[in-house]
A and B are shown apart, each in its own frame.
Chain A
Amino acid sequence: MESLDVKQKKINQEYQKYANSIPPKSNTVTNCAMAFLVGGIICTIGQAINNIAKNYYNMNTEEASATTSITLILIAALLTGLGLYEKIGKRAGAGSIVPITGFSNSIVSPAMEHKREGYVMGIGAKMFSVAGPVLVYGVSASVVVGLIHYFFIK
């Protein structure tokens, strides 16, 4: 039996290698250029919001940073609602996934998608189906960092 499994495994590996050689690869150079451009633009807009918050509203670094996040999240939520963020994402790839606006898109899009399953178990429960893990791992990691500081550094 074992030799059969080994044989099948070999066939599978050969087939997978062959199957993956057929289609053209994603054009990484173009994709990266788009990601760089769009990601860069979003961050530049963020910088502008940050500077306005600091210079015109006299906010400190943390406050300005939070204001920047909130504003970008609002813009991305609106663009998602209007169906535009998906169109940007198709071209920009990671350029619109990695900035905080992508986090917003990943919260808004499942919430919209599941509205028809109700306001509680649809929007409410599904809102964090994609972004929830970010909070789980991000917050957990930050607690670990805090504890390390408490026990070893402080």
Chain B
Amino acid sequence: MAQNRIGGQTIVFTKNPPKIISRASIVGKKEGEGPLAEYFDKILEDDLWGEKSWEKAERRMFIETAQMILERAKKEPSEINYLFAGDLLDQIITATFGARSLGIPYYGLYGACSSMTQTISLGAAMIDGGYADHVLCVTSSHFCTAERQFRFPLEMGVQRPPTAQWTVTGAGGVLLSSSGEGPCITHATTGKVIDFGIKDANYMGAAMAPAAADTLKAHFEDTGRGPQDYDLIVTGDLAKYGRQLTIDLLKKEGYDIEDRYIDCGCEIYSEEQDVHAGASGCACSAVVLAGYLLKKMEDGELNRILIASTGALHSTISSQQGDSIPSIAHAIVIEKKG
């Protein structure tokens, strides 16, 4: 019998709850002009960053974020037991080439934009289970690499509908550790793949909202907790309309989260930045968590948060074949102890 499971989808870290001992975030130019600019560690002057391609620029953001996290914790790559990482590109090339440079034992994960909490969930289980002391979790995305893979060439003159979202250029991550100072990961609720038949790739918020609502509901049921037990409930990249749908879906289930709920996709850009519904991408929840939320926890403004990164798991091929967009959300609880 697994002793650390509660309910259908949640695990509790009891023996040795992993701590977040270091964090870092790097973002692109546009993100650096948004309301959270002061929380990011580095802002690129241009999105190519002197590299030969957008993909190489994303890779460098990934590597430098990882190095920054290690420097701050005063750790060498050789001291890190595992790197859990993912990104949006085919065959997760950013994470894999990043792992090649870092030389840390690596599990590459694909969870689309849910990668941040997906990697932290697994990394935390490794530590609490006694299989690791230090696990590095990093994810990244880049507007230009995602746009060309999932949508249109950059220079093509097309209009974006009001529900369209803007992929965040950035990389963010955390170092989980069995010892040291920092907020703890106490629970992880693994999401199911949920699909309510939304096909419009320009309305990802609607595709992912049911997954977010499903995972949050499962978390509340498994733990016996409610929204009032958290200072803040956070979702990954549902943006303006997906956020509203999540509130409504959970209200139907009897949970009112509205007064303590933010979506990372609504936080990164301001209204004037012309991003339509909001932000998306693996880096969306990664940089908001690593830059903004963990800083607020350090400052004592937040003590216990529930964060669920959300991912749309379609590919261009599945979309072209007429399939709808399957989605997922993984939730973790971060709590400041002592």
B15 at interface, CB cutoff 8 A: no
CB < 8 Å neighbour of A93 from B153, B159, B198, B241: B159
- Cβ–Cβ contact A110 & B153, under 8 A: yes
B46 at interface, CB cutoff 8 A: no
Say which one of A19-27, A63-71, A135-143, A146-154 lies at the interface with B: A19-27
- Cβ–Cβ contact A19 & B159, under 8 A: no
Residues of chain A within 8 A (CB-CB) of B160 are 90
Residues of chain B within 8 A (CB-CB) of A90 are 157-160
Given contacts A22-B241, A109-B153, A109-B154, contact A16 B197 (CB under 8 A): yes
A50 at interface, CB cutoff 8 A: no
Give CA–CA (A152, B78) in the complex, Å: 79
Residues of chain B within 8 A (CB-CB) of A116 are 52-53
- Cβ–Cβ contact A106 & B156, under 8 A: yes
Residues of chain B within 8 A (CB-CB) of A102 are 157
Q: Which of A88-129 contact B (CB under 8 A)?
A: 88-90, 92-93, 96-97, 102, 105-106, 108-110, 112-114, 116
- Cβ–Cβ contact B153 & A19, under 8 A: no
- Cβ–Cβ contact B245 & A109, under 8 A: no
Residues of chain A within 8 A (CB-CB) of B154 are 86, 109, 112-113
Q: Mark B32-70, 1 if CB is under 8 A from A, else 0.
A: 000000000000000000001100000000000000000
- Cβ–Cβ contact A15 & B153, under 8 A: no
Task: Give the one of A12, A19, A24, A114 with max B CB within 10 A.
Answer: A19
Residues of chain B within 8 A (CB-CB) of A11 are 196
Closest to A116 in B: B53
- Cβ–Cβ contact A86 & B155, under 8 A: yes
Residues of chain A within 8 A (CB-CB) of B196 are 11-12, 15-16, 19
Say which one of B134-142, B202-210, B281-289 lies at the interface with A: B202-210
CB < 8 Å neighbour of B162 from A24, A85, A92, A112: A24
Interface contacts beyond A19-B209, A19-B241, A89-B159: sample of 8 additional A-B pairs, CB < 8 Å, sorted by A = A11-B196, A15-B197, A15-B210, A18-B245, A80-B157, A109-B153, A109-B155, A113-B155
A sample of 14 inter-chain contacts (CB < 8 A) reads: A13-B197, A15-B197, A19-B245, A23-B162, A85-B155, A88-B157, A93-B159, A96-B157, A105-B156, A109-B153, A109-B156, A110-B153, A112-B155, A130-B152
Task: Enumerate chain A interface residues (CB-CB to B < 8 A).
Answer: 9, 11-13, 15-16, 18-20, 22-26, 31, 80-81, 83, 85-90, 92-93, 96-97, 102, 105-106, 108-110, 112-114, 116, 130
